[in-house]
Amino acid sequence: EIVLTQSPGTLSLSPGERATLSCRASQRISSSYLAWYQQNPGQAPRLLIYATFSRATGIPDRFSGSGSGTDFNLTVSRLEPEDFGVYYCQQYGGSPPWTFGQGTKVEIK
Partner 1 sequence: EVQLVQSGAEVKKPGESLKISCKGSGYSFTTYWIGWVRQMPGKGLEWMGVIYPDDSDTRYSPSFEGQVTFSADKSINTAYLQLSSLKASDTALYYCARPYLQGSFRDAFNIWGQGTMVTVSS
63-102: contacts with partner 1 (CB under 8 A): 88, 90, 92-93, 96-102
User: Residue 33, Cβ neighbours under 10 Å: how many?
Assistant: 16
Any contact of residue 103 with partner 1 (CB under 8 A)?
Answer: yes
Judged by CB under 8 A, the residue of 9, 16, 41, 57 near partner 1 is 57
How far apart CA 82 and CA 39 sit, in angstroms, is: 11
**HSE, side-chain direction, 13 A CA sphere, residue 74:** 32
Tell me the residue ranges of DSSP E strands in 4-98: 4-7, 10-13, 19-29, 34-39, 46-50, 54-55, 63-76, 85-91
Segment contacting partner 1 by CB under 8 A, of 11-19, 20-28, 29-37, 68-76: 29-37
In the complex, the smallest distance separating the C-beta of residue 81 from partner 1, rounded to whole angstroms, is 22
**Total residues binding partner 1 (CB under 8 A):** 25
Angle at 62 between CA 37 and CA 57, to 5 degrees: 55
Which C-beta is closer to partner 1: that of 17 or that of 30?
Answer: 30
Any contact of residue 50 with partner 1 (CB under 8 A)?
Answer: yes
Binding site for partner 1 (CB under 8 A): 1, 33, 35, 37, 39, 44-47, 50-51, 56-57, 88, 90, 92-93, 96-103
